Structures are given as structure tokens and as C-alpha cells.
Amino acid sequence: MPDATAVPTHCPYCALQCGMKLRPTGAAEPPAEVVERTDFPVNRGALCGKGRTAPSVLSSRVRLTGPLVRRPDSGALEPASWEEALSAVAEGLRRTRADHGPDAVGVFGGGGLTNEKAYALGKFARLVLATSQIDYNGRFCMSSAAAAHQRAFGLDRGLPFPLEDVPRTGCVILVGSNLAETMPPALRYLTELRENGGKLIVVDPRRTRTAEQADLHLAPRPGTDLALALGLLHLVVAEGRVDEAFVAERTTGWEAARAGAMAHWPEHVERITGVPVPLLREAVALFCDAPSGMVLTARGPEQQSKGTDTVGAWINLCLATGRAGRPLSGYGCLTGQGNGQGGREHGQKADQLPGYRKLDDPAARAHVAGVWGVAPETLPGPGRSAYELLDALGGEVRSLLLMGSNPVVSAPRAAHVEDRLRSLDFLAVADVVLSETAALADVVLPVTQWAEETGTMTNLEGRVLLRRRALDPPAGVRTDLEVLHALAALLGWEKGFPADPEEVFEELRRASAGGPADYSGISYRRIEEEQGVFWPCPGTGPGEDDHAGTPRLFLDRFATADGRARFVPVTHRPPAEETDADYPVVLTTGRVVAQYQSGAQTRRVAELNAAAPGPFVELHPRLAERLGVAEGEPVAVVSRRGRAVAPARITGAIRPDTVFMPFHWYGEGRANTLVNPALDPVSRMPEFKVCAVRLERG
């Protein structure tokens, strides 16, 4: 019999948004338990440890349950009423606007916010605060892939096909993704691919648990993925494997892209990447001999100062071989954060309006301004990208409202970002826990979590999902929408910021109508009935919710003006910071299976901490021998930006010229202290994945 007490919902963590059910326990520790939900097609009941233990963070023992205000006399955060806390936030933002102008107020959002909250936050920034200074931590997730998508296809959606297509393709090239640790339930798709006779190629400088599943593992030096893709395309041309008919009928710009690839002959690419020529040839044969194929990228190639061009090179490989715009073929990006896709579609991003409209497009401004009931010219223009906004704190940006992010741990050059946050005139943070960033705030607002509020999320497939409220939050906690509603009223906007999520979603539908990310045909009812709805889904009938949605993009035409995909010519260039005598080793960063992003929530779960208690430095035995360090001994990793210390983890699964650190922790092992904030010129993505370091005995 179905369990009537269990509410269907979704995991609060990554962009798989795995289906689960929550059953209230009636106890405090924890207040709910996870029940398997086998009907949801993405995970089919499977969950990783983070999903299974997610209710632990709902406990009042580990979360915020009332507002905090920093007292001038003690300098400490102390309990306060909601009235006092909200008044302090409104006054802090109002004072900065009056003294320094609207762009002195910044807003920083998060890729875990629901679509409704992301939409309301962007609207709040542009109407109530009249500031252009808004961006979000999703800029650090897949902005390079998004920019490359836009250039090549005219539309950005993480995966242009559902995950169910992956096991049925002929070959997958997985670039810079360790699904076994970052999205464990998705690994089954690669297992099924191989069981079906398909081939898997993994590109990663480490022999990860995912790479161990591959038919072929290519281990390039960090920062050389662009050269690797160009070298593969060179071989496709040289071996006569270009799909000439597809190129002629469905693309433009091939000759210039071809010329760029021909400058990257195999031996040259081997010298750059360290990948032997025979393996390059084997990769081309596996990919091109298959009847269909996909390239899937993640943060490895994207979090680079040339991430947009790197993704573009992999897209060029797909286009040249006819592996795009066809069934069971295409390029896709594995979005990381829970709502990294939807979070940037509806207005958190510095240059975008709801519906994935461009903020500097007069028609887009007119449409959204009409929905909001304001004149288009009153909307501010594009502002700073995420790192540039954080870097401006304490200077041109004097106050900050931050929701759902922990940049003290997650941002590049994190110690500098922490200093910038400390230098602000005023900082307000809305979060579920007292994160390292919240601990710096003048006012902390405790907000509800995933299980305590209703709202929509958009997963990595472009599937819009509904998370239903399953529990009542603690008495001293409010939703982010309630917070924005109250702040707007205190700042003079009595209307326009409803606290009801479905009412916000109905406005979002209107604001997105006709835009690239059109949600106008999606309703809460449809999402529940159909296990999610894929955008674009325009409203077409009286009820405006009878469009079928679009699980598979580009099968008939690409989203460009002429319907053709664009080859973009690219060429290899080195990372922003190369190794030298003083910093002879390359650092790359990433995640481990038991922790998530900045660890603000997962580091509060005992079971997860037992599995991954702290940071480490992964290094090759030859490098460890030269340093004279044994397993578990402290190692200092030093870059031009700072120093981090963590125990050595010695393994032959990493290149001898490379070290790896996970980035989930604060303190002396904070990996992002070391990271270079050099930005991609198109996406403004920082170069998390490669910087020059030296090692010292700790």
C-alpha cells in the first residue's frame, strides 16, 4: 500500500534533483526520514549518502532558528526579533543607497534557490534596490558551457536531451567529470551504456572512480583540455571522418574552425597535453566508429580562464562528426548545483532577465517591465559578474544582501574575498545554517529549507520539478519569499512581492513567455502529473498549459536565426598562470562524494563527516618521495595567493606533475585560498581548475 504520510519531493543537493519521499517522524532528531521513490525517472529510487541523510540538517540542533543581529557594544551576533532584524536590513540598505547611490548596494544569490526565489531576488534587486549589482554563485558552476551553448546553438540548456538517452548512444566522451563522486546515482547511466555495448571515454588528470569504468582514460595536464579537443578534431579531418553532409546542411563557419584544428597536429598536442598520440587515435576511432555519440563536460574544462573556448572546441568536435541535432547524439553540460540551470534563467545573473532574456535587449526589457508594471528605462543595466562583484565589496559596493551562498569557502582567492566581506559597511545574510559567511554578517536571517517550503527547481536536463512542503519549519524561521516580501514593504514596495510560491511562479510564467527559457506552458499541476516538464514549454491554449514540453532540443533546427549551428574557431592558449621554478606543480580542485560544495550543510551531518572528515592533498608517490612526506603527514600547498595545509593522500591515480584538493572546508585546509581568480573573457568564470603551486612539508 502507498504510504500516505510520505510526501513526494526531491533531494536538496545536486542538479540531478533525485526523487525521494519524506515521512515526518514526529521527533526532533531528525524530524523526517527518507523513503524510496522509484517512480521518478532520473534516479529510479537510487540516492547517494547526501540524499539519504538530508533530513539531518532539518534538525534544530544544527540550524538557525531565529534572527541574529550584531550588537555594537559586544561586537557579537545575538538573538533578535524578526521586526528588529528586518528593520536593520532595510535601514542598512537604505542608508547605503542614500549615501552612495543604488549601485553601492549588491545582491549575491545562490544556485540552490528555487526558481521562484531566484526570480523574486532578481526583481527585488532591480526594482526595490534599483541596483545593477546582482550575480550568484552559479557563475562558478557552468557559465562557460552556457556561453559556449549560446554561441554554437543559440540556446543554453545543460543537457539538450534527457538522461535516459545516454545509455542508448554509441559512445560518450566524459570530460572533467567524476560522476561516481559528484552525482553517484547518474553513474548507472554509464554502466548501462557499456552493458548495451556502448563505449566510454573519460578525460581527467586523475584516475577517478569514474575513469576506472572507462574503455579509455585520457589524462591530460590540467588546463590543456582545449588542445586535446583540437587534436581530436584534427585527426577527424585527417582521417576523413567529417560528416560532410551534416556540416553542409546544418552548420556554418566550418572552414575557420577546421583551420584552427589543423594547426594542432597530434604530436604537438601530445607535447601540450601529455596524452600519447596512439591514445588520441584510439579516442577518435571509438567516437567515430560508433553509430551515435555524445560529449558531456563538467567543471574540469569549464572552470578555466579559457573555459568558453574549451567547451566550444568539444562542441566543434560534435558538429564536425554529425554528433549534434540528431537522436542519441549531442553535446551536453552536467550542471552541478541543485538549481544552477533555473537559477540563471530567471534573473539572478548580472546580465539576464527572466526567461533567459538579455538585460541589454530593448525588447526583453520592455516585456519584463510590462509584467512588472514599470517603465523599461527604469531597469538598471548589466552589472558585475560574481567574482568581480565580490572583489568590489568594501569599495564601490558598500552593502550586500546575500542569500543561499557561502563565498568565504566557495569563491576563488577565498581569503581575499573574506577580507572584502569584512570591509563592508553592512552585510545581511539569509541562510539555513550559520555558515562561515553568515558568521561575518551584521544581520542573519534564518530561512526555511527544501522540506519546509514549496517551489520549483530545474534539473540538469531542463526538467522543471516541484518540491512540495513536507514539514512545518521551526517557529522562528521564515521563507526567503517572506523575507523579500517584508523587506520590499519596508523599502516602499507594498505590492509586487508575494510570499506565496505558486503566485510567484504564475508571474514567472508571464515574464518568461516568448523568451528562450519559456515556462509559460508549465503549471504546478502539470509538473506533478507529468514527473516534471521540459522547457521550452510555451503556453498555447486557453489554459496555456497544453504544450508537450521539449525533452529533446535541436532535432529539427538549432535555436539560431537561420536554424544552423555555429562552428566557433578556437585555438589553444596556456592557463593564466603557468608553472615555473618557484611554483613547479599544478593544483586542481574538486569534490568528494560525502560532502557538497562549501560544505555548509553536509559538514553538519555526522555520517558524512565520518566518511570525509577533512581536506587532504592528493599527490603522486614520486612527488611525495621528492618532498619526503609520508601518507597522512601534513603538506603545505602554496600559491601566489596564499597557503593551505592538509594531510597527504598518496596515490598513483594522479599525474606526477599535479596535486588535487577538495574545496569543501574552511580553515587552514581551505583549497580556494590558493585558486587563481583569472576570468574567462566571455563567461567571467574564474580559473578554479588550474593554478601553479609549490609543496612544502607542513
Per-residue pLDDT tens digits for 636-647: 999 999 999 999
pLDDT value of position 30: 84
pLDDT value of position 4: 65
Is residue 103 a part of any domain in this protein?
yes
Is residue 299 a part of any domain in this protein?
yes
Please indicate, yes or no, whether residues 319 and 435 belong to a single structural domain of this protein.
Answer: no
For residues 308 and 144, the answer to whether their CB atoms sit within 8 Å is yes
H or E element that contains 457: strand 455-458
Please indicate, yes or no, whether residues 312 and 413 belong to a single structural domain of this protein.
Answer: no
Please indicate, yes or no, whether residues 263 and 309 belong to a single structural domain of this protein.
Answer: yes
Question: Among 333, 360, 385, where does a domain finish?
Answer: 333
pLDDT value of position 338: 86
pLDDT value of position 142: 86
Q: Residue 436's domain is classified under what CATH number?
A: 3.40.50.740
Which residues share a beta bridge with 661? 589
pLDDT value of position 344: 87
| Cell digits of residue 648 | 597527504
Question: Among 300, 333, 366, where does a domain finish?
Answer: 333
Please indicate, yes or no, whether residues 269 and 169 belong to a single structural domain of this protein.
Answer: yes
Which residues share a beta bridge with 147? none
Please indicate, yes or no, whether residues 327 and 349 belong to a single structural domain of this protein.
Answer: no
| DSSP structural state of residue 447 | B
Please indicate, yes or no, whether residues 315 and 360 belong to a single structural domain of this protein.
Answer: no
Phi/psi region, residue 404 (left: phi>0; alpha: psi -120 to 50; beta: rest), is left
Q: What CA dihedral angle connects 74, 76, 77 and 81, to 10 degrees?
A: -10
Is residue 317 a part of any domain in this protein?
yes
Within the chain, which residues score under 50 in pLDDT?
Answer: 1
CA-to-CA dists, residue 308 to 171, 193, 331, 352, angstroms: 23, 28, 14, 18
| Cell digits of residue 188 | 548507472
Is residue 512 a part of any domain in this protein?
no
Is residue 520 a part of any domain in this protein?
no
Is residue 638 a part of any domain in this protein?
yes
For residue 620, the enclosing domain spans 585-697
Q: How many CB atoms lie within 10 A of CB 628?
A: 8
Is residue 54 a part of any domain in this protein?
no
pLDDT value of position 541: 59
Q: How many CB atoms lie within 10 A of CB 360?
A: 12
Please indicate, yes or no, whether residues 325 and 239 belong to a single structural domain of this protein.
Answer: yes
Which residues share a beta bridge with 251? 565
Q: Residue 651's domain is classified under what CATH number?
A: 2.40.40.20
Is residue 529 a part of any domain in this protein?
no
- Residue 306 to residue 684: CA distance in whole angstroms: 10
Identify the CA nearest to 484 among candidates 447, 434, 524: 447
Question: Among 500, 535, 568, where does a domain finish?
Answer: 500
Please indicate, yes or no, whether residues 360 and 327 belong to a single structural domain of this protein.
Answer: no
Please indicate, yes or no, whether residues 413 and 307 belong to a single structural domain of this protein.
Answer: no
Model confidence over 255-299: pLDDT tens digits?
999 999 999 999 999 999 999 999 999 999 999 999 999 999 999
Please indicate, yes or no, whether residues 256 and 272 belong to a single structural domain of this protein.
Answer: yes
Please indicate, yes or no, whether residues 301 and 369 belong to a single structural domain of this protein.
Answer: no
Query: 3-class DSSP state for residue 297?
Result: strand
What's the domain count of the chain? 3
Q: Residue 197's domain is classified under what CATH number?
A: 3.40.228.10
Please indicate, yes or no, whether residues 232 and 378 belong to a single structural domain of this protein.
Answer: no
